[in-house]
Structure 1
């Protein structure tokens, strides 16, 4: 007889917990396993592109609410398992995080499943809605471009998938759209030009070309991260 799937069972199984409260605590979504947290489904399983299925839910307690997404890896590969693919995605996001690029909080990774913070708003939408107010976010786009060029990424359309909370830019896709590092043997400035073209296509997004070049050059050499590590 088939066993019905529930979110509570899934979370408990991921961290070998005996209760939902204990699972949430182990995942970092609650501070107390005995707290009265409530799970609320945002939407059931649905395709999230060509490589994942997504399930969104909220963890609601008296003090706060976490917006969370389960990502089940379904990408196709003839040489790697789904779990190996998921591990590669985690390695890519860790590389970007080490360079100061923002990624959603990762609560769990294993069994070809990721549990992470959900950042819902597309950066393009935010920039269109707030013309002239996104200089900090635009700087982060050029920082990302520099980091990708420095590490030899050759993404397909990574800028289209960027998200924001209004203060930071988040990379949320670490699969084929980003691709692996080290693809380009010689470091170039390709992602700087791609970032400029993408921002121009967004509209309502004036670009200070001199500032863009300066931000890109600064992060291309890794100076910002060196300063962060020494501080």
Structure 2
């Protein structure tokens, strides 16, 4: 597979990397100074993709994280699979689910924002106020997934920029869409059946169950006495 520079220029139909980045909206102008830092080589990102992470460092010193994903599923044509993933991404974003920003989808490849942190690692390292916010974000994600008709097969790939909850997998792990029986409660039940639920404290699980029964999710307030 090509390196980052070759992929970006191929996507945009130019031989100039500066022009490619400008066309993708990563830099403002082809005259901007930047540095690309590629992280290793292509690696298997799961059962359906190979991935290649990289950063773009701008003249100001600002760093933006990106990831290339190449679809390698063999169950059906790659173009059809990619179209389904993109439609799911767009539909759930429209419903309000936090998803990565996308810059390119085509020719079997996705270029999108790289979400730096594992949601679960971030959650377990968080102080009480930050953890409360993250639990609230998780609850909201359950509600939106149900509204979209999804019962995910797993929640281990959840990511976070800081205290948000970002869904990054729009393939098999998202499950089959248009499940009329999907509710926040059934999504929560599916979640509790997996290993990711081990990261949730009993009081947080009680909140998630209560919130799943209500149309409007209340704000979760962490009981700090449990940490004493």
Q: TM > 0.5 between the two?
A: yes
Change (3 A) 1:160 1:5: closer
Q: 1: distance between equivalents of 2:210 and 2:201?
A: 20
Runs of 4+ with >6 A deviation: none
Picking from 65, 68, 71, the partner of 1:70 is 68
RMSD: 2.3
**Paired residues of 2:188 and 2:212 also in contact (CA < 8 A):** no
**Quick check: 1:181 aligned with 2:213?**
no
- Distance (whole Å) between structure 2 residues aligned to residue 104 and residue 13 of structure 1: 22
- d(CA) in 2 for partners of 1:210, 1:204: 10
Give 5+ residue unaligned stretches, structure 1.
Answer: 221-231
Once the two structures are TM-superposed, the CA of residue 36 in structure 1 deviates from its matched residue by 1.4
Alignment of 1:1-231 (within 5 A): 5-63=2-60, 64-77=62-75, 80-132=76-128, 133-157=130-154, 159-182=155-178, 184-188=179-183, 189-195=185-191, 200-203=197-200, 206-207=203-204, 209-210=206-207, 213-214=210-211, 217-218=214-215
Q: Deviations over 1:26-53 (max 9, x none)?
A: 1111011111111111121010011100
Task: List runs of 5+ in structure 2 lacking aligned partners.
Answer: 218-228
- 1:103-134 C-alpha deviation (Å, 9 max, x unpaired): 11101000110001111211111111125331
CA distance in 2, matches of 1:196, 1:142: 13
Aligned residues: 213
Q: Is the 8 A contact 2:50 2:70 kept in 1?
A: yes
Aligned equivalents of 2:98 and 2:43: distance in 1?
Answer: 25
Query: Residue 39 of structure 2 aligns to a residue in which SS?
Result: strand
**1:46-90 Cα deviation digits (max 9, x unpaired):** 10011100111111111221111100001121xx31121011111
Indicate if the aligned counterparts of 2:67 and 2:111 stay in contact, CA closer than 8 A.
Answer: yes
TM-score by length of 1: 0.83
